[in-house]
Amino acid sequence: MFHSGMGGWWQYLSAEDSNESNIDRQLLRRVWQYAKPYRHRIIIILFAISLSVLLGLLPPLIYRRLIDSTLPNKNYPELNLLAISMIAVPIISGVIQVAQRYQSSTVGEGLIRDLRQKLYSHMQQMSLRFFTNTKTGEIMARLNNDVVGAQRAVTGTLISIITNTTRVIFTLSIMVALNWQLTIISIAILPLFLLPARKVANRLRDITRKSFDLNADMNILMNETLNVSGALLMKLFGRQTDTYHKFQRRSDAVADIGIKSAVIGRWFFMALGAISATGTALVFWYGGHLVLTGAFTIGTIIAFAAYLRDLYGPISSLVNARVDFTTSMVSFERVFEVLDLPHEIFDSDSSNNLIEPSGKIQFDKVYFTYNTDTNFTNINASNSLSTITRPFTRRTDIYATSSQSNLRNKSPSGLTWTLNNINFTIEAGQLAALVGPSGAGKTTLTYLLPRLYDPTNGSIQIDDIDIKNITLDSLSQTIGMVTQETYLFHDTLEANLRYANPDATINQIGSACKASNLTEFINRLPDGLDTIVGERGYKLSGGEKQRVSIARVILKDPRILILDEATSSLDSRSESLIQSALKPLFVGRTSLVIAHRLSTILAADVIIVIDNGIIIEQGSHSKLLSANGLYAELYKTQFSGR
């Protein structure tokens, strides 16, 4: 149904209206796959709707009997019975409708719960490329606004269609039994209902999709600016007024399109009302003649008039259901668009768990690029929500500066390599230091080992096994990573530590905190481990967050450690505490460290020097110094003065 890549998505989104019915059928088939587990409840719903509709059609017949027979004949027992019936019918019908509502809500909420969980699980498995190319607010809009819209389609539109269809069928049957000539007059105007529906449905479908996009843009801005980092940036640069005006423009656009949708809908209902009034007038005109000639009783025409309401009302709703259906299907389309985004990184059929790894690491002729706008067979299309909703300019290297990115080596086809022909081996238990200038590709290289990205070409192996043949769960258990930016949840300190090992005992947590030099800090906190760290850990200092990150990795106890040391911006005491916390972390593990400190470099078994995505040198500290190359230059300018 959907295709990866920009071209395929835009071909789908720009489909002609003639294909819409086919698309809707495809959507309904997909929705039905989620509804299947609830099919028994659906049968109960259909039965309840039919019974409720039948009961709802009894009052006009009661009125007819009352006017034509009971009152003229002064039949007191029948009068009492009819009066009781007038009370009993709505009560019984109401009870049935409550039961039907319970069942339909159970189906609708369950279906949407399953869809939301599927959507969340699918997004979890997207590669890091997806999240670097997609704004968080846009993801939230898909999970919230679109799923809620799909929920309305199930619990509202579809139930309404079933109910009104049943009501029209039963009403027409009774009307034919009463008088087939009046019934023909009543339905003669039905084609007029269809005239405004098609045009309005297509128009509102486009407006609804645009409305979702505008709401997503507004949500994106709120998400980016109404958090700690965004608020801090606004205040520091005095951009509150400008940001407010930007938000004002986006919220105005949302309001404007809402007004446009409401006005179009009101014109549509006005047209339906005029058509219904015309049909009712024709029936009364012709029926009045029949009453005057004695061919029709007053009770019959009153009953017929009541049934006209039960006919035109549901028909108007059914005509409007095309509008509701086409607009509500936009929500399902947008949800399925995300579910159809292919996973770039996944377990292959040949993937196996890594059993008792020793930790040997090997990069063999590894090439990597962030630029996926190529036809290289080994490069997966870059997918983000932006690529399926609006034009998007992809980033070729999220780590390199603009000047550095121009220095990247390019293939004959013009492809810009972030990493170019990377070859090295780290034996089990060794400490390897990754050294190079900013933007050289060091962080990118470390992201390839846990398969946050896959190499464009070449292979990466652990214990001589290609990591693509190792299950992602096993790979995650084998590798522990401390990144430059420590992310903490808005939760307690203990909860953030347990994220690495939910089953950790309090003694294990205490040992990890002691090893990472956190114990003294925790003892000073009024609530200890129960202290809330704040949004993204903003209540903690940089050094404290880094030590929490180290304690978290200690609790995970990985065989391979990747460490992006971020101590350059810390004070000397924090750096000293982190340095002492790292020493036991390297023991018994294979470690790949982006080195920012001389002590780490001197302790390394092998030093890998990278520049512009290419390994320039590798070897021991003394060997590289004697070579008098880039490493010697970096050492003299960055480390020798310490």
> Which residues 6+ apart lie within 8 Å of 65 measured at CB?
78, 82, 299
What is the mean predicted confidence (pLDDT) over 371-392? 45
Mean pLDDT of the chain: 78
Select from 516, 504, 633, 488 the least CA-distant residue to 584: 516
pLDDT of residue 314: 80
* CA proximity to 544, closest of 528, 529, 522: 522
Q: What is the pLDDT of residue 573?
A: 66
Three-class SS of residue 593? Answer: strand
Residue with tokens 């292979």: 459
**Mean pLDDT, rounded, for 426-451:** 91
Amino acid at the residue 485: E
User: CA-to-CA distance for 96 and 45, rounded, in angstroms?
Assistant: 10
Strands 614-619 vs 606-611: parallel, antiparallel or unpaired: antiparallel
3 state DSSP class of 450: coil
* Residue 193: per-residue pLDDT: 64
Q: Give per-residue pLDDT as tens, 291-323.
A: 777 777 777 777 777 777 777 778 777 766 666
Q: What is the model's pLDDT at position 377?
A: 35
**Is the separation of the CB atoms in 192 and 271 below 8 Å?**
no
More confident residue, 393 or 205: 205
Q: Is the pLDDT of residue 8 over 60?
A: no
CB count in 10 Å sphere of residue 429: 16
Whole-prediction pTM: 0.70
Greater model confidence, 446 or 572: 446
Average pLDDT over residues 618-629: 90
Q: List, for residues 115-148, the tens digit of each pLDDT value.
A: 888 888 888 888 888 887 787 777 777 777 777 7
Give the CATH number of domain 20-339: 1.20.1560.10
User: CA-to-CA distance for 53 and 38, rounded, in angstroms?
Assistant: 22
- CA-nearest of 177, 194, 180, 174 to 311 is 174
| 240 pLDDT above the threshold of 70 | yes
Q: How confident is the model at residue 278 (pLDDT cuts 50, 70, 90)?
A: confident
User: Residue 480 in 3-state DSSP?
Assistant: strand
CB 131 within 8 Å of CB 162? no
**Spelled out in words, what is the top-level CATH class assigned to the domain 361-486+558-639?**
alpha beta
What pLDDT is recorded for position 372?
A: 58
Q: Domain map of the chain by residue range?
A: 20-339, 361-486+558-639
> Of 374 and 361, which is predicted with more confidence?
361
Q: Is the pLDDT of residue 45 over 80?
A: yes
Q: What is the pLDDT of residues 209-232, one digit of tens each?
A: 788 778 878 877 887 777 767 776
Identify residue 215 by its one-letter amino acid code: N
Task: Tell me the three-class secondary structure of 524-552, residue by residue.
Answer: HCCCHHHCECCHHHCCCCHHHHHHHHHHH
Asked if 368 and 417 count as a contact pair (C-beta separation under 8 A), the reply is yes
Six token digits for residue 54:
């039948």
- Identify which of 384-393, 452-461, 582-591 has the greatest average pLDDT: 452-461
Distance (Å, rounded) from C-alpha 516 to C-alpha 580? Answer: 8
Tens digits of per-residue pLDDT, 69-126? 888 888 888 888 888 988 888 889 889 988 888 888 888 888 888 888 888 888 888 8
CA-based nearest residue to 541, from 488, 597, 600: 488
Angle at 435 between CA 433 and CA 438, to 5 degrees: 140
pLDDT in tens, 501-523: 888 899 999 888 888 888 888 88
